[in-house]
Amino acid sequence: MPPVPAPALTVLTTTDSAESAERLARSAVEARLAACAQVSGPITSVYHWNDAIETGQEWQVSFKTTEERYEELEAQLTAAHPYETPEIIALPVVRGSAGYLAWLTAETSAR
């Protein structure tokens, strides 16, 4: 029987520049709302906006955090993000190495 799914999450957002992505990554890690964050890009985004199809260059940020910290991370991202309605979604981590998950939990615990 696999262990109970670790209460960890991968939280994703996208933004319109590498600088903005690194700012969002750094402020979340500094506030211990994520143990780490990874910026990848540029990616090409295709999306609906006001009934037209738009294509744009974006950078993705992937935060590793716990379910306990999710709402604070969402609030910080919403406040700091340059978009009005940014993508902020969380995918569940159902398995993980014990050492890494312990580190993740420790790094996102209040000090």
* Minimal distance, residue 65 CB to a copy of itself, in Å: 10
Measured between its terminal Cα atoms, the distance across the chain in Å is 34
Query: How far is CA 89 from its chain centroid?
Result: 8
Residue ranges binding a copy of itself (CB under 8 A):
2, 6, 8-12, 14, 18, 22, 25-26, 29-30, 32, 35-41, 43-48, 53, 55, 58, 60, 64, 67, 70-71, 74, 77-78, 85-97, 99-101, 103, 107
CA dihedral sign, ordered 71, 76, 77, 79: positive
* Minimal distance, residue 110 CB to a copy of itself, in Å: 13
